[in-house]
């Protein structure tokens, strides 16, 4: 088993762990953390694939590496946006879970 395969398998486990967290945690902040774990797992998987494609004197496939850098930045902006939304929710209410009050008996109308 090569190092790249090992990393690929580890990435699969990370993704599995993150997916568990995404489903099981009720707290949005923990979901955001889990999202980041899944994200890094996907990136690590890509890194393993890039390492497999090492040739022409490069340590890995540079196209995949470049894509990853873009992906990491995009994932960060998603995290920042979700966190900002969560904090804004916190500033207007105490209840920060995603579970909604039953919609059909909703008292306050939309704007």
Partner 1 sequence: MTETPAGLLIVLAVLLPFVGMMLALMAGGRNTPRVAAITIVCVVVTVAAIGLQVAHAPLVYQLGGWAPPLGVALRADGPAAGMMAVVTVVVAAIALYARRDFAVPEGLVEARAPLAFWLLLLAVWGSLNLIFVSGDLFTLYVGLELLTFAGVPLVCLDGRAETLRAALRYLLFALMGSLLYLLGTVLIFGVYGTLDIELLSRVIQPSLVTRTVLALMTAGLLAKTALFPLHIWLPPAHAGAPAAASAILSGLVIKGSWFLIVRLWFDVMPGVVTFGTAQLLGAMGAAAIVVGSIVALRQQRLKLLVAYSTVAQIGYLFLMFPLAFDASAGAMSGGNVLTAGLLQAASHATAKASMFMAAGLFYKALGHDRIAELGGAARALPITTLTFAMAGLALMGVVPSGAYLAKKLLLAAAADQGQWWWTVVLQGGAAFTAGYTVLVLRRLLASPMAPEREIARVSRLSECTALALALASLLLGFVAAVPGIGLPSGLISNPLAPSELLTICLVTGGGCLLAWGFAQRPSSVRPAKAAFVGVLVEDFDGLLRQWPAASLSLFAFAAAMGWLLQSGTAA
Partner 2 sequence: MTAWLDSAALILLIGLAAWVVLGRNTFAAVAGFIAYGMLLGLVWVELQGIDVAMTEAAIGGGLTGALMIGAARRLKSAAPVAPATAGTLVIAIGVGAAMAAILAACVLALPNPAPSLASLVAGNIAATGVQNPITAVLLAFRSMDTLLEAVVLLLALIAVWSLAPDAEWPGRIGVPQTANPNGILAYIARVLPPIGLVIGFYIFWAGADQPGGKFQAATILAAMWLLIISAGLGKTPPVSSRWLRAGLIAGPIGFILVGAYGVASTGAFLGLPAAYAKPLIVTIEIALLPTLTLILALLIPPPLRKRAEA
Please tell me the distance from the alpha carbon of residue 61 to that of residue 54, in angstroms, as a whole number: 5
Please tell me the distance from the alpha carbon of residue 39 to that of residue 45, in angstroms, as a whole number: 10
Residues that bind partner 1 (CB under 8 A): 15, 19, 22-24, 26, 28, 31-32, 35, 38-39, 42, 45-46, 49, 52-53, 63-64, 67, 70-71, 74, 77-78, 81-82, 85-86, 88-89, 92-93, 95, 98-104, 106, 108-111
91 binds partner 2 (CB under 8 A): yes
In whole angstroms, how close is the CB of 35 to partner 2 at the nearest point?
Answer: 11
57 binds partner 2 (CB under 8 A): yes
106 binds partner 2 (CB under 8 A): no
- Residues in contact with 82: Cβ distance below 8 Å, sequence separation at least 6, in sequence order: 28, 32, 35
Tell me, rounded to whole angstroms, the distance of Cα 98 from its chain centroid: 18
101 binds partner 2 (CB under 8 A): no
Judge whether 86 and 29 are in contact, CB under 8 Å: yes
């Amino acid at each position: 088993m090569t190092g790249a395969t090992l990393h690929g398998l580890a990435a699969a486990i990370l993704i599995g762990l993150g997916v568990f967290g995404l489903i099981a945690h009720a707290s949005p902040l923990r979901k955001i953390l889990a999202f980041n774990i899944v994200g890094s797992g996907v990136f690590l998987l890509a890194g393993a694939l890039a390492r497999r494609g090492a040739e022409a004197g490069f340590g890995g496939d540079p196209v995949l590496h470049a894509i990853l850098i873009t992906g990491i930045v995009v994932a960060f902006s998603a995290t920042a946006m979700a966190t900002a939304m969560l904090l804004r929710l916190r500033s207007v209410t105490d209840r920060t879970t995603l579970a909604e009050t039953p919609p059909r008996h909703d008292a306050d109308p939309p704007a």
